[in-house]
Structure 1
Amino acid sequence: MSAHHRPGPHELGQNHLTDRRIVDEIVALVADRDLPVVEWAAGTGAITRGLARLGRPVEAVELDPRSLEHLRRIAGPHVRVTDHDILRHAPPTTDHDLVANVPFALTTPVLRRLLRLGAWQRSVLVTQWEVARKRAGVGGATLLTAQWWPWYRFTLQRRIAASAFRPRPSVDAGLLVVDRRPRALVPERPGYQAWVRSVFQGRGRGVPDILVRSGIPRSAVRSWASEHQVTERSLPRDLTAQQWAAGHALATGARRVAGRGIRR
């Protein structure tokens, strides 16, 4: 967004959370973690006030001038209000948790940016219901979820009715919790993510067939599938984080064997 344009709530897609029970549930998800909290898209401070009562440092990030004015009036001693675009704001480089009632219009760019940032340990996000379901792998994993699963756990906490917001959005929301894994399931990211994309886009009746067509020996694929309970008809959206990680290890090992064969 241009520095000369100060968009209002409607342009920002802001739907302020007004249901006190949902606010309390969001705050409870970071209450016992003893880390500073960054809140993106703080709005008029419904969640900010609850976070402030934890007695820990809170940075409330907001762009709308009217909301900023209100935030500064209600901010307690633990709260620092930051006037910034959440797509450009730089969170701390030390461990922290992040909370956001994500503007629906910005859901995808916010998620993509968040997953690439370091330091945060837990993110508690209010997003569109369908987005929350997809990210948590409910009904099948999407490409984006599968690409990031080795580094994060995605949990769908609950559905939030549209009536919990003002102005009322046209769809329900979901409460999504993203936790950084203490130990990644895969050692390197770019190669893994490119491989996952190739599997999603690959031709075949199921994942084992796709892997065989990619050049992995059928016997190795059969052993992997048996060990990790992958059926012949399992599709990419059906795999779990652990199955994806094991599949990538299989593909990496097959490439190494093929490489040694070529060098001979």
Structure 2
Amino acid sequence: MPRNHPSRHPARPTAARDPRHPGGAHELGQNLLVDSRVIDRVVGLVRDADRPLVEWAAGRGALTLPMARLGRPVEAVEIDPRSVDHLVRIAPGNVTVTRGDILRHTPPSASHDLVCNVPFHLTTPVLRRVVTLGGWRRAVLLTQWEVARKRAAVGGTTLLTAQWWPWYTFRLDRRVPAAAFRPRPSVDAGILVIDRRPQPLLPVTDADRYQRFTAAVFHGPGRGVRDVLARQGLPRGEVRRWARQHHVGPGTLPRDLSAGAWAEAFAIGR
């Protein structure tokens, strides 16, 4: 699958702070977005789809209000009661404010887009929850820079990405400097865009078996992925044919495989 990724070390622009958005509550791990250019970019990533919007960790509304101006229904989910009260006061009629924990909130089953400025200490559970939920078509997530890079397979695929690749695409949109948040975190962030594939590479009924397969390949013994697959009991002739088709050499590692290569390797032993 072709990938277009930005440079690993792009220039870091100075944040254009919007003074209307104060910093977040430190005890809740809130680093609120205050850079108007980043806000515009996040909103732009969900602008063209005519779907309702769900925003997790809405904070003080830096993203909520611009998304509301798109004219679509918005559900803003926030756990901090002070921020909830603020959102209720400022939200227009197409915004529903819900006080709740984003790890327990259940979005609508109908098609929608999901946006979240992910609290950094909740990154892993939020990502795992997002990929297991139905309904949403696009998820736009602000996460730590290194997490965004890894999930988008910049520099190699991680196990988590490989396990969900047949059903989703992962794309790194851009780097976001730490100065774009208040209070300022210790690391930069990145915008990670996850899209649900309209045509999955594998049936969803295969998910459990496929994910066990990818874990076994990532952690299995062998000198390269071809050797690992053969040791997993896949027919060597089929593995050689698969390797030629996907340009997999003797030293190719699991982290080097594309989404299509993973799906077809699984299909050999299915």
Residue 234 in 1 paired to residue 252 in 2?
yes
Residue 97 in 1 paired to residue 113 in 2?
yes
SS in 2 for 1:195: helix
In the alignment, the residues of structure 1 paired with residue 47 and residue 234 of structure 2 have an alpha-carbon distance, to the nearest angstrom, of 47
C-alpha contact (below 8 Å) 1:87/1:113 kept by paired residues: yes
SS in 2 for 1:183: coil
SS in 1 for 2:97: strand
| 1:109-148 residue CA offsets vs partner (Å, 9 max, x unmatched) | 0010111000100000000001100100001011000000
SS in 1 for 2:110: coil
In the alignment, the residues of structure 2 paired with residue 89 and residue 233 of structure 1 have an alpha-carbon distance, to the nearest angstrom, of 44
Equivalence for 1:251: 269
**Number of residue pairs the alignment of both structures matches:** 245
SS in 1 for 2:63: helix
Structure 1 stretches of 4+ moved >6 Å: none
TM, length-normalised to structure 1: 0.91
Asked which structure has the greater RCO (Cα within 8 Å, sep 6+), the reply is 2
Deviation at 1:230, TM superposition (A): 1.2
More helix by share: 1
In the alignment, the residues of structure 2 paired with residue 110 and residue 120 of structure 1 have an alpha-carbon distance, to the nearest angstrom, of 14
Equivalence for 1:76: 92
Residue 141 in 1 paired to residue 157 in 2?
yes
Deviation at 1:9, TM superposition (A): 2.3
Equivalence for 2:227: 209
C-alpha contact (below 8 Å) 1:224/1:247 kept by paired residues: yes
In the alignment, the residues of structure 2 paired with residue 200 and residue 164 of structure 1 have an alpha-carbon distance, to the nearest angstrom, of 36
Equivalence for 1:20: 36
Q: Any unmatched runs of 5+ in structure 2? A: 1-23
C-alpha contact (below 8 Å) 1:212/1:221 kept by paired residues: yes
> Among 23, 26, 31, which residue is 2:47 paired with?
31
| 1:166-208 residue CA offsets vs partner (Å, 9 max, x unmatched) | 0000000000000000111012100000000000011111100
Q: How does 1:30-49 map to 2 (within 5 A)?
A: 30-49=46-65
| 1:77-110 residue CA offsets vs partner (Å, 9 max, x unmatched) | 1100000000000100100000000000000000
In the alignment, the residues of structure 2 paired with residue 167 and residue 133 of structure 1 have an alpha-carbon distance, to the nearest angstrom, of 23
In the alignment, the residues of structure 1 paired with residue 126 and residue 238 of structure 2 have an alpha-carbon distance, to the nearest angstrom, of 39
Equivalence for 1:59: 75
Equivalence for 2:126: 110
C-alpha contact (below 8 Å) 1:124/1:176 kept by paired residues: yes
In the alignment, the residues of structure 1 paired with residue 163 and residue 75 of structure 2 have an alpha-carbon distance, to the nearest angstrom, of 29
| 1:188-237 residue CA offsets vs partner (Å, 9 max, x unmatched) | 10000000000001111110000111112222211110011111111011
Equivalence for 1:200: 218
In the alignment, the residues of structure 2 paired with residue 60 and residue 217 of structure 1 have an alpha-carbon distance, to the nearest angstrom, of 51
RMSD: 0.9
In the alignment, the residues of structure 2 paired with residue 246 and residue 231 of structure 1 have an alpha-carbon distance, to the nearest angstrom, of 16
Q: Any unmatched runs of 5+ in structure 1? A: 1-7, 253-264
Equivalence for 1:9: 25
Paired AA for residue 222 in structure 2: G
SS in 1 for 2:227: helix
SS in 2 for 1:122: strand
Paired AA for residue 14 in structure 1: Q
Looking at CA atoms only, which structure, 1 or 2, has the larger radius of gyration?
1
C-alpha contact (below 8 Å) 1:12/1:105 kept by paired residues: no
> Among 170, 173, 178, which residue is 1:162 paired with?
178
| 1:16-66 residue CA offsets vs partner (Å, 9 max, x unmatched) | 000001000000101110000000000000000110100100000000011
